[in-house]
Amino acid sequence: MPSITVYLSSSKDVDAVYHDAATALGKSIAAAGWTLVYGGNPIGLMGKLSDGARAGGGKVVGITPQLMADEGIADKACDELIVTTTMRERKHLLETRGDAFIAMPGGMGTFEELFEILVGRILGYHVKPIILLNIAGYYDPLLAMIEHGIVQRFIKPRAKEAYFVATTVDGAIRHLHDCFSGRLRREHPEGEPSARE
């Protein structure tokens, strides 16, 4: 079954709408039978996400750097907790362990992770689905900036094909179901794959 990497904030001091969305996303990933891959810290929105997945009976993989583990904020309740030497290694594993990516509202670290996977897809290094979960219009200014970059010819219009914008958790999950079922049809045009596959 697919693994979904979610990028988001560890901040606690954000509006309740973001906390609620993180919990709902964790539960929805678990309900779909998918594995959650995330930054491995049980605080703020990250904690809501992972707790939601566990409450739904889902598998949780946390990937966190040694620096944060040393500060005592590694999520030891994960089914699999990976502690990396550096942030670069953490980002690499978050990318390679995921079959799709969801960027929830977040700060500088979330933006860094999002743009790295976006550029990777635009350049053809991967074809994994990328979703911007635009809760409460958080990403509206970023989307406007991308449009501005297109108008000013710094960004090619096809860059918008690299990501999908969802305004609700349900919309994000539906899009991933569509992506994964489409991939199965392409890989197995004669029918559903066997249990061995």
Measure the CA–CA gap between 37 and 18, rounded to whole angstroms. 19
Sequence-ordered list of residues with C-beta below 8 angstroms from that of 44, at least 6 positions apart, any chain: 9, 10, 11, 12, 14
How much is the pLDDT for 189? 43
Answer whether 159's CB lies under 8 Å from 122's CB. yes
Q: What is the pLDDT of residue 182?
A: 79
Please give the pLDDT value at position 186: 53
pLDDT, position 192? 39
Q: Which tokens is 144 given?
A: 């406007």
pLDDT of residue 1: 87
H/E run at residue 82: strand 80-84
Among 27, 67, 32, CA closest to 51: 27
Q: What's the confidence (pLDDT) of residue 44? A: 95
Q: Give 15's DSSP letter.
A: -
Task: Specify the amino acid at residue 184.
Answer: L
CA angle 48, 46, 96 (to 5 degrees): 130
Give me the pLDDT at residue 105, please. 97
Per-position pLDDT tens, the chain of length 197: 899 999 999 999 999 999 999 999 999 999 999 999 999 999 999 999 999 999 999 999 999 999 999 999 999 999 999 999 999 999 999 999 999 999 999 999 999 999 999 999 999 999 999 999 999 999 999 999 999 999 999 999 999 999 999 999 999 999 999 999 876 445 444 443 322 22
Q: Which domains are assigned to the chain?
A: 3-186 (3.40.50.450)
The secondary structure of residue 168, as a DSSP letter, is: S
